[in-house]
Structure 1
């Protein structure tokens, strides 16, 4: 992937993360996280997956750019 392709994916994941957090706050503000627990859990699972994917793509972009990463970050 090119740097711009990595950045595009990272930016899209960032939008997904922001939207997911906002939706989860709306669930919480109305008590729907209890009434729709399965749906709320799916939102949370998707948020966690998006965060992990964003980290993975960021590290891959840095590695492709030749940035040294300590083994604890990889």
Structure 2
């Protein structure tokens, strides 16, 4: 039977910039995703938290098969 482990990565909004979307450097996200992919992590889901219509945080969920 396969077993998995899970990891989360959070990105939070900069409080000094209130806007309807988060301003995150896409190059930084690409580097993080590529590094995790090299380690065998697969992105399986993401959620965002909003407050008063503003995105405050995005959480990415990853999984990979456990070494047995």
Structure that is richer in strand per residue? 2
Quick check: which has more Rg, 1 or 2? 1
The structure with the largest helix share of the pair is 1
TM-score in same-fold range (> 0.5) = no
